[in-house]
Amino acid sequence: MAVEAELTATLRDPNHVRAKLAQRADVQRATYSDTYFDRPDHGMDADGYELRVRVVTTDDDRHVLLTYKEPPVDGGQGSKPEHETTAADPDVLRTIFEGLGLVELIAFEKHCENYAFTEQGRDLLATVVEIPELDGQTFLELETQAEPEDVEAALQLIRLLLAEFGVTDDDLTSESYTDRVAATRR
């Protein structure tokens, strides 16, 4: 079972971080249109599960990802077992989920700058994220795949890299984008 070992930070100096990342990889820009589904009582979300349909749009591509995430394995910091596959049509997925009794929990758009690179034998993805509804806030997600027994070592590498980018432990956040966006809509 693969775990997405990930830490997310709120950036104080996004341009500094972008410059550091550009030294490691070329940027790939994309827009993610994310829709999360849940049971009507929102029990999946409350228990740490996620069911997401993501439409990824770049200058020359559009594809759909279906993702199911289990609760965090790292004490709630965000490293979750993740199961993901491609799909052809997000509307068909919506019809299936609604037919199964699920409801839309929340939907929003993310503007992402992705930097893929390898460090210490690990493939990493750094994503600089801006969400229009969270105007003025820029985030950094840094992630790699790990086996459950290797999550802590993966997170140590991520923390080391974050420090190189000028991101401190005080910048880390475990608050989800879904919760942040929902709060702005209330």
Distance from the Cα of residue 169 to its chain's centroid: 18
Half-sphere exposure of 182 (CA within 13 A, CB side): 11
Distance CA 132, CA 110 (A): 7
- The pLDDT score that the predictor gives to residue 107 is 98
pLDDT in tens, 160-186: 999 999 999 999 999 999 999 999 999
pTM: predicted TM-score of the whole model, two decimal places: 0.93
Task: Determine the 3-state secondary structure of 8 from DSSP.
Answer: strand
> Which carries the bigger pLDDT value, residue 79 or residue 133?
133
* Measured torsion, CA atoms of residues 129, 131, 135, 137, in degrees rounded to the nearest 10: -30
The one-letter amino acid code at 159 reads: R
Share above pLDDT 90 across residues of the chain, in percent, rounded to a whole number:
92
Residues facing 28 on adjacent strands: 114
Q: Give the list of residues 6+ apart from residue 100 with CB closer than 8 angstroms, or none.
A: none
17-51 pLDDT tens trace: 999 999 999 999 999 999 999 999 999 999 999 99
